[in-house]
Amino acid sequence: MRWADSLADRSARRWLRGIAGRLDSGWRALAGDPSLWRTFDRHLAAVDDAVRCEADMVSRQEPVSRLVLLAGHAHDVWTEAEELDWRPPANPGGWTEREWTGLRLLACLRLAADEPRGPKLPADAEFARTRPVETGEQVNNRREYFR
Q: Tens digits of per-residue pLDDT, 83-120?
A: 999 999 999 999 999 999 999 999 999 999 999 888 88
41 phi/psi in degrees, rounded to 5: -60, -40
pTM: 0.81
Close Cβ partners of 71 (under 8 Å, ≥ 6 residues apart) = 11, 12, 13, 15, 16, 108, 112
Mean pLDDT of 3-25: 84
Q: What is the reported pLDDT for 119?
A: 87
